[in-house]
Amino acid sequence: MKNIHSFDPEVAASLELELNRQRDGLEMIPSENFVSEAVLEALGSVTTNKYAEGYPGKRYYGGCEYIDTIEQLAIDRAKKIFGAEHVNVQPLSGAPANIAAYEALLDHGDTVLGMDLSHGGHLTHGHPVTQSSKIYNFVRYKTNAEGKLDLDNLREMAIEHKPKLILVGYSAYSREIDFERVQEIADEVGAMTMADIAHIAGLIAAGEMNNPVPIFDIVTTTTHKTLRGPRGGMIMCKKKHAKAVDKAVFPGLQGGPHENVITAKAIAFKEAMQPEFKEYAKQIKANAKVLEVELGSRGFKLMFGGTDNHLLLIDVTPKDVTGHEAETALDKAGITVNKNMIPDDPRKPLDPSGIRLGTPALTTRGMKEDEMRKVADWIDRAISARNDDDELSKIKAEVEEMTKNFPLYEKLSYTE
Ligand SMILES: *Cc1c(COP(=O)(O)O)cnc(C)c1O
């Protein structure tokens, strides 16, 4: 990266520090991942220069013939991977994809049934701090006492509130979702169905989790979590919603699409179609299972009773520690997780009872079951030693030693 380095050493220095942070630590935030070098190259490609308002073949700018080919490749690959009738690859990220989906399907004031944030839902699913919550009438459902998604309760609430849209798919929920049953409930009450697969898209792409795309009216996702593409969003839907979705994204919500990101999406989708990606998704789940067993046996309380996917939501208060304290201690030990609310959390969002962690990024680095056993042990040790900075530094050194065996962007440097 000679040009950054010679023109702007200040930025280059910080980039190098960030690169080394990613290399040296254990990245366990379940919504993060490491993209391939091909995806990185695409993000820095010349397609960043191009305005292309509109859609392939119907643009408001000249010179879009090659951009059209690239965007169409991204669309066709996504259709094939997920079995989608229609795909829009222009949403800038997951949150705008959801806003556009609501706008495509709903009138202002319509009722949406979505999951409560502390039970695993996402802010964009109607949390009172969002703009969407002021536009639509969100009713929140919760997981049951055992922590599972309670579809009988969902049905009762659907009958009571007559929503126009039922929304499933979550940010901190670790269990499989029965999309067919949700569709039956929706049919019974005359509602449309939306799944937000932002977290699990990669697992679905690999056939490792249930796929709502062939069943539901509309499915939104990010492309940068388990799908391991560039930071961005995508909407998939039935043909009958195609026009409304495209209009809601542009000109409804956005201007010119970020074609460099769409270029990177096309490449990431090709990667997701390779046999290696299937192995990757299997290993993500196997690694999460090891953490479930190892952390469970060390006295951590696993919400939802464990995991079927890539993440674990853990109540750390039985260890006499808060989510914030656990996050801070783990940070000092070189392990990055995030504090998180647990269902009906009696504590506040900035210092909740839980932490959320996952395996997609570590699995990308090539770590397997043996490494996960070490990771579980470090997590337990670091939380126990939260007031002992010497011990935390010792763990950090052990972590760094291990991560050296799993090189990341080996030839990349921002300072030479
Ligand atoms: C991450 C996430 C989003 C938001 O994606 P951004 O790219 O951060 O805007 C939306 N929905 C769910 C379920 C998510 O997990």
Residue 387 CA from chain centroid, whole number: 32
Cα angle 196, 314, 386 (rounded to 5 degrees) comes to: 130
User: Is residue 234 pLDDT above 80, yes or no?
Assistant: yes
Cα–Cα dist 179/194, whole Å: 10
Model pLDDT, residue 118: 80
89 pLDDT higher than 90: yes
Query: Is the bond leading into 128 cis (omega within 30 degrees of zero)?
Result: no
Quote the CA–CA distance of 202 and 278 in Å, as a whole number: 9
| Res. 145: pLDDT tops 80 | no
Pocket of ligand 1 (CB under 6 A): 31, 93-95, 98, 122, 124, 169-171, 196, 198-199, 222, 233
pLDDT of residue 416: 81
d(CA 255, CA 278): 35
* Cα–Cα distance measured from residue 35 to residue 33, given in angstroms and rounded to the nearest whole number: 6
pLDDT at 148: 81
Confidence (pLDDT) at 142 = 87
Q: Identify the pLDDT of residue 117.
A: 81
Whether the pLDDT of residue 93 is over 80: the answer is yes
Report the chain's mean pLDDT, rounded to a whole number.
96
Per the listing, tokens 């630590």 go with: 25
Q: Atom 5 of ligand 1 has which residue's CA nearest to it?
A: 94
Q: Give the C-alpha separation, 283 to 292, whole Å.
A: 14
Q: What's the pLDDT score for residue 143?
A: 86
Q: For residues 162 and 154, what is the distance between their CA atoms, to the nearest angstrom?
A: 11
Average pLDDT estimate for 148-175: 94
Summarised one tens digit per residue, pLDDT across range 238-280 is 999 999 999 999 999 999 999 999 999 999 999 999 999 999 9
Atom of ligand 1 nearest to the CA of 170: 13
Q: Tell me the Cα Rg of the chain.
A: 22
Rounded distance between C-alpha atoms, residue 92 and residue 268, angstroms: 16
More confident residue, 29 or 142: 29
- What is the predicted pLDDT for the residue at 224? 98
Q: Which atom of ligand 1 is nearest to the CA of 169?
A: 13
CA 385/CA 305 separation, integer angstroms: 26
Domains and CATH numbers, the chain: 4-30+275-403 (3.90.1150.10), 40-272 (3.40.640.10)
Measuring CA to CA, which residue among 333, 330, 373 is closest to residue 354? 330
3-state helix, strand, coil in the chain (%, to 5): 50, 15, 35
* Residue 171 Cα distances to 222, 236, 249, 291, 327, angstroms: 11, 19, 23, 18, 18
pLDDT of residue 119: 82
In DSSP notation, 303-346 reads GGGS-SSSEEEEE-GGGT--HHHHHHHHHHTTEE-EEEPPTT-S
Mean pLDDT of 324-353: 95
Active-site residue 53, yes or no?
yes
- The amino acid at residue 5 is H
- For 192, list phi and psi in degrees, rounded to 5: -90, 165
Count H helices and E strands in the chain, helices first. 16, 15
pLDDT value of residue 159? 97
Rounded to an integer, the average pLDDT of 140-153 is 85
Task: Please tell me the distance between residue 202's alpha carbon and the centre of ligand 1 in angstroms.
Answer: 14
* Burial class of 389 by CB neighbour count within 10 A (0 to 12, 13 to 18, 19+): exposed
Atom of ligand 1 nearest to the CA of 95: 9
Model confidence over 296-313: pLDDT tens digits? 999 999 999 999 999 999
Residue 64 has pLDDT above 90, yes or no: yes
Calculate how far, in angstroms, residue 402's C-alpha sits from the geometric centre of ligand 1: 31
pLDDT for 147: 76
For residue 246, what pLDDT is reported?
98
Longest dimension (CA), the chain: 64
Q: What is the pLDDT of residue 1?
A: 73
